[in-house]
Structure 1
Amino acid sequence: MQFLANGTGWDFILGGYYFTESVDGFIHIPIFFDPAAQFDQRGTGDTKAYAVFAHGSWEFVPRLKLVLGARYSHEKRTSEGVFTAPFVPIPTGGEKSFNAFTPKATLQFEPSDNLTVYGGVSKGFKSGGFTIGVPGPGVEPEKLLSYEVGLKAQMFDRRLTANIAAFWYDYTNMVVTRVVQAQTVEENAGKSTIKGIEVELTARPTSRLRIDASLGLLDAKFDSFTTPDPLNPAAGPISLAGNRLPGSAKYTARVGAQYDIPVGDIAKISISGDAFFSGDMYFDPYEHRGSYQPSYETYNASLTYDSGRWWSMTLWGRNLSNRTIVSNQLISADFWGYPRLTYLRDPRTYGIDFKAKF
């Protein structure tokens, strides 16, 4: 449900929604050392949520606009289940309710039709809950206080578009996944700081050529987080302050281009390619070398014939250098002999797509 209104120099929207969901889940693995032994994780999870929100903008002087928003959220999560490893079943689940008020404010200045400068602050919220079939008290909500400034510009008769943003996030209760004995559990980290810069450029030097480039610089670290290391349980709880957040590369970059060649009156051939570069990253908060992806690059290319009518055909190739790239990795517990649970991105892949419009 939404209510909208606008006038000279202002607009406003007020709305709300309701959400309900029920999920069943299970994992069952027989264990070889005894016919009765098993790894069994199963249960149900239910969510009921509602929210009301308001958002509006006001151009109180020419080219200077204030954008305000606010949202109130309520969520209730319940779960029932059982966990068995290897013999004794343990009841799991519980009930949690969460409330959050998350406002935002942005000041936006447009000194010309082709340039916008902005700065703002906002609060974010992600509810906690339970992992189905996993013992424990569940997790509390994640909370975020965000500061961002940036600009959006179009230059040289709109042949060059630039978007630049700098941000600073104060993150509380970030949910982190780790392995405890035979269980994969989620827990709240203490506090984290995430700061960075993002740059996106699009250039059209001719009507046939488009060039895209982007760069992201990221500094994401735990400020406070004390927890046991499953690979060294004898050490007890250790401080991970200063460690990088899982999956955070210090830099990412991409450059790509597309060139269009007219064929006849309405058809065209498009040649495109791009390269992506990423810094190294860890996939667990302990910075274990066994859960690590070195810096890497990938290359993609495609050749498209567009008939200009009802069909087109594309020959494409991805990860042309055939790099082995880890997308996520966890080191399991001594219960299994510390194996690495690894997810890989696709190797070199190529194919042909045919598209039709009717």
Structure 2
Amino acid sequence: PFTVDLGVPELEIRATYPGNTVKSYAVFGNGDFAVSQKLALTGGVRYTNDKKDFPDSTVVVTLILPDGTRVPQSTRSVANTPSFSKTTWTAGVNYLLSDEKLAYGKVSTGYKAGGSEQGITYLPENVTGYEAGLKTTLLNGQLTLNFAAFYNDYEDLQVAKTVNALTQVENAATATTKGLEVEAAYASANGFLINAGISFLNGEYGSYLDATDPRNPLTDADRANGLVGPDLSGNDLPDAPQIDAILSIEKDIQIGAGMLTPRIDLHHRSRYWGTEFNDFGDYGVLGQKAYTRIDAGLAYAFGQGWSIRAWGNNLTDEEIQTFAVIGGNGSMIASYDNPRNYGLNVSYDF
């Protein structure tokens, strides 16, 4: 048992799990077929069977009032043995436009097994993905430039959350992600190395009715009176910025018998949400505003394996969120990347 201190009152949770068993079996294969020197077909298939055995388990949630009175909130004893199976596949085509240019396209399906949390069974998640692109090598191999467009169609997307201090998974009916990615890498003869990339993404729920909001979960009495959860259809998926771009530049400079290498890295992301509800919450922690992070370093390699490097990360001291969730009883939890930091490293390779 453990107690979640949420101020006044408190929640005490006692859970007994006698031993859960999860078994997964899969058979798969893939292959390539060269139609000609320029055209090739690819394909694969996979069969997966998942079985989950959850024996009788007991979860007791007790509300502890300020005067010490204990009020049982819920007791659930359940046994569940859900099983799922799915055949997934992939098919693609590669076409060599020239020795430096390859065009490709593929269609793939994916599957994530369903399961059971607190006696409530949730459905498997299924996705069909489409991708087409172009890979190129230019300037006698000094420059690579790649393009990709994609579209993913989800059915019964699984959404995990914490409700009344208990983990719960529910299915959003549909969701999609679509976008464009561009990547480039350039290595010059005089020591410059440049990497750049940008992605444009649109990820949203198509149909997500009667969602569970941990900040205001509905009771059985609420549902008996006809109340339903919020409609999140059209909301952005969590952690899905519309723009994500990187740029890194470094150059090797020969100085005597050593090599000096300055480097700078930039990473820009547009605003994104931490949860499916698309709001910042009461404390402003359930989402991330747009930011540009700058890292820089200066390294000097010398002798037989010695190097020294001065570095600084997050030089503009951005608040960069790495995780956000609505916790038990509507609490809001977020974690952040390191603030501005810097240092000096000395190393020896042998």
Which range, TM-score by smaller chain? Answer: 0.7 to 0.9
Deviation for aligned residue 1:92 = 5.5
Normalising by structure 2, we get a TM-score of: 0.83
Cα distance, 1:305–1:172 mapped onto 2, change above 3 Å? same
What SS class does the counterpart of residue 24 from structure 2 fall into?
Answer: strand
Superposition pairs of residues 1-358 of structure 1, within 5 angstroms: 28-29=2-3, 31=5, 38-41=12-15, 43=17, 44-79=19-54, 81-86=57-62, 87=72, 89-91=75-77, 94-130=80-116, 134-226=117-209, 227-232=211-216, 233=218, 236-265=228-257, 267-290=258-281, 291-307=286-302, 309-332=304-327, 335=329, 338-358=330-350
What SS class does the counterpart of residue 285 from structure 1 fall into?
Answer: coil
CA distance in structure 1 between the partners assigned to 2:14 and 2:292 by the alignment? 39
Give the AA of the match of 1:121: V
What SS class does the counterpart of residue 239 from structure 1 fall into?
Answer: coil
Verify the 8 A CA contact 1:229 1:236 in the aligned structure 2.
Answer: no
Cα distance, 1:186–1:346 mapped onto 2, change above 3 Å? farther
Q: CA RMSD in A?
A: 2.5
Normalising by structure 1, we get a TM-score of: 0.82
Cα distance, 1:41–1:296 mapped onto 2, change above 3 Å? farther
**Tell me, which stretches of 5 or more residues in structure 1 are unaligned?**
1-26
Deviations 1:152-205 (A, max 9, x none): 001111221111100011111211123323324221111111100111111223
What SS class does the counterpart of residue 141 from structure 2 fall into?
Answer: coil
CA distance in structure 1 between the partners assigned to 2:9 and 2:215 by the alignment? 26
Verify the 8 A CA contact 2:106 2:131 in the aligned structure 1.
Answer: yes
Verify the 8 A CA contact 1:300 1:318 in the aligned structure 2.
Answer: yes
Give the AA of the match of 1:51: A
State how many pairs are aligned: 324
Give the AA of the match of 1:175: Q
CA distance in structure 1 between the partners assigned to 2:303 and 2:156 by the alignment? 52
Deviations 1:211-238 (A, max 9, x none): 1111010111111111243445575233
Deviations 1:250-289 (A, max 9, x none): 1111111011122445x42221111111111112212123
CA distance in structure 2 between the partners assigned to 1:47 and 1:154 by the alignment? 46
What SS class does the counterpart of residue 318 from structure 2 fall into?
Answer: coil
